[in-house]
Chain A
Amino acid sequence: MKNKIIFSLLFVCFLCFAAANAQEKVKTVISYLKLNNKTVELTVVSTKPFIVGGNMYILYLGNKQIRLSRQSKKDGKGIITFLIPLDDFKQAKDGVDIWMVYGDYILDEGNTAIDFAALYKENPLTCWPLGKLKKKSLKK
C-alpha cells in the first residue's frame, strides 16, 4: 500500500512537471482600438515577436485589406498597429471576422473572398485569427 501511494505521488508529480514545461502556445490578440485624428489604430499584440522580413502584414476586416502599419517589439512581445482610415472603419460591418496575414495572398480569379479558415490551416505560423470587429470598443 505504501509503495502504491509513493508511486501514485510520483506519477502525479510527473504529470505536473510535464504540464508546467509543456510549450506555451503563442497568443495573438487585438490589444486595443483607438481613434487618432482620422485614423483608427488597431493594435495587435503577440506573446512572440512578429517576423521582421520582406513581406507585408495585412489586416483583413472581412475582405477589406488594411496595409499600413507600424511594427515594434517590447518585453519580448510583438506589436503591430494597423492604421485604418476612418472611412474604411466606418464602412466595415460590426461583427466581421478580423484576420491578420503575413504575405500578400492573391485572390483567385473570379473569387472575391479568401478562405481564411483554409489559409490558417495551411499557414498557421503566418495567419492569425483575431476574432470579430467590435466597434463599440473603439477608444476615442
Chain B
Amino acid sequence: MKYKKINLFSLLLLLCFLFISNFQGYGQSTPDPGLIGPLAVTKVGYNLGNMAFKPPSFADTVELRGSIHYPTLLIGGPFPVLVFLHGRHTTIFQTSNPANDALAWPPPAGWESVTSFEGYDTLARLMASHGYVVVSISANGINASDASSFDAGMSARGELVQRHLDLLNTYNTVGGAPFSSLFVGKLDMQNIGTMGHSRGGEGVVFNALYNRSLGSPYGIKAVLTLAPVDFSRRVLNGIALLNIAPYCDGDVSNIQGVHFYDDARYTDPSDTTPKFSVLMLGANHNFYNTVWTPGLYIAATADDWNDYVGGSLPYCGTSGVGSKRLSPIKQRAALNTYAAAFYREYIGHETEFAPILEVEDIIPPVSSRLDSTAVFVSYHPTRFNRLDINRTDTSIRITTNNLADSVKSNGLLISAICGGGLSMTSCGISSSSTREPHKGSSGVKGLAQMNMKWNNPTDYYQNNIPSAYKNISAYKSILFRTSINYVEYTGGLSLDYSLQITDSVGNTASVKISDYTEANFYPPGVVTGYLPKIMFNSVRIPLSAYTGINITKVKNIKFLFDRSTAGGILISDLTFTGQEDQCGLVNTRFGYDSIGGYNTNFYDSSVVTPGASLSWSWIFGDPTTGASNTSTLSNPTHTFSGDGSYTVCLAINSLKTNGVTCRDTFCTTVIKATQCNVIDALYSADSIGNFDIAFNDGSIVNPGDVVSWRWDFGDPASGVLDTSSLQNPMHTYPGAGTYSVCLKIRSLTNRGFNCIDSVCTNVVVKQFVDHTGIENQDKSHIYIFPNPAKDYLDIRGAARTDVIELYNQFGQIVFSSVIGQSIVKLPETLATGMYFATIITENGKLYKKILIRR
C-alpha cells in the first residue's frame, strides 16, 4: 500500500513536471500594467454648450463637452495627456421615460444627452492613477447626423478632437473656465495618446492625420483604435498604433480595424513606429463602454452580438452552446490592461511592459482577467527592429523572398500567395469579409498571405537565406503571423508543426510551434455568415531555442509539417526581430534662452545613441530672415524678426557606427514680444545632501506678471518626478553625474501676453556628506538636535531672528518658524519621514536633512 502511494505521488510529480516543461512559452516576469497606480484621482467635467462648435467639414453644430480624470494633487508635471472619443450610439433619451430614446441633437426640453463619453471611466481612472490626465469627449452632435455626411463624419470627428486639444492647450497655458488655473503648466501637449471606439476609432486616425496637416501643433504619440470601423482605409504611419479586435463583435462584425494594422505595415519606409493588434475572443462591440452595456446605464444599451446576430448562437451568443463570451467586467478589464500596456510604454516610456505587446510574454497579465486562450497579439516591429525574410506581399514571394533568395516547398497540396485583393487571387475562404476581415475592399487591397495545405510529415515550406544575411546573431527571435485556414482544414483542432533552421554545414535545429504559442488555434464558433473568422496573430520563437547550429551561418528557415498529420494554415510577415531598437533612444529636445531683444540662444538637449555622428537641422519658423531661418549648428542663436509666435523645429540625424541613421524631430512654439524681452529664465542649484539638489528660481520677469515654472531635471528614470511646476523644487538624483536641467518659465503679462523663456544648464551632482546634528558639526556653527527628531528641534548656534523652514520630499514647505529660543516645537501634523531643513541666517542659508519619527 505504501509502495502504491509513493508511486502515485511520483506519478503526479512527473505529470506536473511534464506539463510545465511541455509549454516553454514565455516567463511571467513582465510587470502588470493594469494594476491601479499610486496616485489619487479626481474627476471633473466641462460643458461649453450643446451647440458650441461647428466642425469645418460638418453641416451641423455640435457640443463641446468632456470629462477629465487627473492625479488629484497634480504635483510636478506636466503630465501626459490621453483623449478618448466614443463611437456612434443613440444620442438622447427622454428624462421621464428613458426607454424613449432618439438619434437627434440637441436634446429638446425634457430630454437629456446619453453620456457615452463617460463609458471609459475605469480606464481613465486607471491611467490617471499612473500620472496621466485623461480627457474623454462627447460626440453626440456628430453621431446624430453623420450618416448624411460625405465621410460618415470622420473629418468632423478629427476636427472635434483637435478643438478639444486646443481647449486643453488653453487650460495648460493661460487657464480658463471652468478650471481657472488648475491645469496651467500641467498638460504635456507634446506627449498625447488617443483612443477611439467604433466610429471614434477611425475618428482618432483622422485626427492624427489632421493634426499632422496643421504642422503637428500637438505631439500625438500613440493611437488606439478600439473595435473601429475603417470606411475610408486611411493609413496611419509615424505613430505607434494599437488596434483591439473583438471576435464576437455583432456590430462591426467584419472587424474592419484589422486594416489599420495591415495597411500600415510596409506603406512608409521611413516609419519608425510599431504596430499592434490584439484579438480578444469572447469580446463584443459594446461592453467596452459601460454606458452602452445593459444593466449599467438607463438608456439605449445593447448586447450587440445577442441583439444583432443571435444570443442563442454558439460561442458568441451568451446563451449559445459553448459560449465563451466575456462578461462586461472581464471585457473592460482586458481593454484596460492592454491599453495601459500600450500607453505606459509609448507615452510613459515604461519599457518594462514591452514583452506583453511584442509577443515575448504570451501569458496575459492577471489584471486582464484573461487566459492565454482568449487573447492574441499581432506585432509589427519598427523597420529598425526587423529583417524581413518574406513579407508574402506580392505574387513573386512564392518563389523569391524579400532577401532575394529562393523559396521552396515540398509536397504541399496548396502553396500559393493569395488574398491581397485586386490583382491578386483570393484565397477562396469566404465571399464575405465578416468571415475574413483581412480581405481587401474595392480599391484597396487586403492582406496578402501564404496559403499552405499539407497531408504528409515530409511536407515543408522553406525560405533560403543568402550569405549576405546568414549571420542572424544580432536578432532574438523569428516572428510571423498566422491563422488556420478553416476552409482547407476542417479538422476542428489546433495544428502543430516545426520551425527548423539549417546552417551552412547542414546542421539543423527544430522547435515545436506549440511550445511557444497557442495562436494555431482552430477559429472557434460555427454561425452561418459570421463564424468562424480568419484572424491573423503573431507567433514569436526565440532563436535561443535553436541549439546545435551556427546562427552566424544560417542557410534556411523551414516550416516542417511533421506534427499534425494534415492541416491548412495561412502565414504572413515572416521576419527576424528582437534587435535592439536602435533608434528608440533618439529623443530630440531643445531649450532656448532669450539674451536680449529678439536674440535667442537655442540649446540642443536631445538624447542620442552614444557614439553616433550627429547632424542638426534647425528651422526657426521665421522665413522673413531668409537664410538665417535655418541652421545646422548644435546650439545656434537666432534673431527673430519681430513680435510673434514662431514654430521652431529641430531635426537630428543620428548616424550610428553600423550605418543606421535615426531621425527624430521636435517642435515647439517660441513667443517673442517686446514686452517679453525682459523675461529671462535663470536658476541656481545647491547640493543639500547626498544626491539631493535644491533649485532656486532667479528668473527676471515684469513686475506683476503671473509666472508658471516647468522644470525638467534631466533624470527620466525618475518618471513623473522628473518634472516639477514649483518655483523652487528639490530633486533627488539616483547618483553622481552630470544632468541637463532645464527651466522654462511662462510669464503672463498684465496685457495678457504669454512670454516664455527657458534655460538649460548642466548640473554636476556629487556625493554630498550629510551635515546632520551628528556628523561634520565642525563644519558649521549651527547644530540641530536630535536627529532623528520627534516633537522638537534644539537649534544651537543660530541667532534668535534666524528662521527655520522644513520642506518635504516634494519640495513643499510644511513648517516655518523664527528660531527665537533654541527649542523649536514641531507641529503634530508632520508625519514620519525625511525632511529638508533650511536655516535662513543673515549670512545666507544652511541646509540640513532631518528625519522625523513619530
Contact = CB atoms under 8 A, between A and B. Distances in A.
B304, B439, B529 interface centre (most CB from chain A within 10 Å): B529
Contacts of A73: 101-103
B309 A104 contact: no
A67 B530 CA distance: 23
Given A52-B90, A54-B199, A68-B148, A121 B252 contact: no
B432 A119 contact: yes
Contacts of B714: none
Given A106-B432, A111-B431, A122-B529, A55 B147 contact: no
A126 B253 CA distance: 11
A103 B198 CA distance: 13
Contact of B147 (A68, A105, A118, A125): A68
B426 A110 contact: yes
B441 A69 contact: no
Contacts of B432: 105-106, 119, 122
18 contacts: A52-B89, A53-B252, A54-B199, A54-B229, A55-B251, A56-B152, A67-B152, A69-B147, A70-B145, A70-B148, A103-B253, A104-B256, A105-B433, A106-B433, A109-B421, A109-B425, A109-B440, A125-B307
Contacts of A53: 87-89, 198, 251-252, 285, 304, 308
Interface string B229-249: 101000000000000000000
A53 B308 CA distance: 10
A106 B145 contact: no
Given A56-B231, A83-B148, A72 B440 contact: no
Nearest to A109: B426
B422 interface: yes
B442 interface: yes
B434 interface: yes
Given A54-B199, A56-B231, A106 B440 contact: yes
Contacts of B304: 51, 53
B566 interface: no
B310 interface: yes
A53 B152 CA distance: 12
A46 interface: no
Contacts of A68: 147-150
A123 to B, nearest CB: 5
A115 B103 contact: no
B532 to A, nearest CB: 13
A28 interface: no
B309 A125 contact: yes
Contacts of B534: none
A104 B231 contact: yes
A70 B147 contact: yes
Nearest to A115: B431
A99 interface: no
Given A68-B148, A73-B101, A125-B308, 7 more contacts: A52-B89, A54-B251, A68-B147, A68-B150, A72-B102, A106-B432, A110-B426
Contacts of B147: 56-57, 68-71
A59 to B, nearest CB: 11
A54 B227 contact: yes
A122 B431 CA distance: 12
B254 interface: yes
A53 B101 CA distance: 14
A53, A71, A121 interface centre (most CB from chain B within 10 Å): A53
Interface of B: 87-90, 101-104, 143, 145, 147-150, 152, 198-199, 227-229, 231, 251-254, 256, 285, 300, 302, 304, 307-310, 421-422, 424-426, 431-434, 439-442, 528-530
A107 interface: yes
A114 B230 CA distance: 20
Contacts of A125: 307-310
Contacts of A52: 88-90, 103, 143, 300
A70 B231 CA distance: 18
A24 interface: no
Contacts of B231: 56, 104
Contacts of B441: 104, 106
Contacts of B198: 53-54
A54 B285 contact: yes
Given A72-B104, A126-B308, A106 B89 contact: no
B478 to A, nearest CB: 30
B254 A106 contact: yes
A108 interface: yes
Contacts of A110: 425-426
A56 B198 CA distance: 11
Contacts of A55: 229, 251-253
Interface of A: 51-57, 67-73, 83, 102-111, 115, 118-119, 121-123, 125-126
Nearest to B114: A52
Contacts of B309: 123, 125-126
A107 B444 CA distance: 12
Nearest to A76: B100
Contacts of A102: 308
A24 B269 CA distance: 58
A123 B528 CA distance: 8
A121 B529 CA distance: 8
Contacts of B101: 73
A23 to B, nearest CB: 14
B103 A71 contact: yes
Contacts of A108: 426, 431
Contacts of B425: 109-110
A103 B251 CA distance: 8
Contacts of B88: 52-54
A54 B441 CA distance: 18
A52, A72, A102, A111 interface centre (most CB from chain B within 10 Å): A52
A111 B709 CA distance: 63
A56 B149 CA distance: 12
A107 to B, nearest CB: 6
A71 to B, nearest CB: 6
A103 B254 contact: yes
Nearest to B229: A54
B90 A119 contact: no
Contacts of A83: 148
Nearest to A106: B433
A123 B87 CA distance: 23
Given A55-B229, A73-B103, A105-B432, A122 B528 contact: yes
B103 A121 contact: no
Given A53-B304, A73-B103, A105 B254 contact: yes
A105 to B, nearest CB: 6
A123 B35 CA distance: 40
A136 to B, nearest CB: 26
Nearest to A110: B426
A106 B310 CA distance: 22
A70 B147 CA distance: 6
B102 A109 contact: no
Given A68-B148, A109-B426, A123 B529 contact: yes
Nearest to B197: A54
Contacts of A119: 432, 529
B227 to A, nearest CB: 7
Given A52-B90, A122-B529, A107 B442 contact: yes
Contacts of B434: 103, 105, 123
A64 B309 CA distance: 25
A111 to B, nearest CB: 7
A51, A103, A118 interface centre (most CB from chain B within 10 Å): A103
A57 B103 CA distance: 15
Contacts of A115: 431
A108 B441 CA distance: 8
Contacts of A109: 421-422, 424-426, 440
A104 B434 CA distance: 9
Contacts of A126: 253, 308-309
A47 to B, nearest CB: 16
A64 to B, nearest CB: 13
A54 B251 CA distance: 7
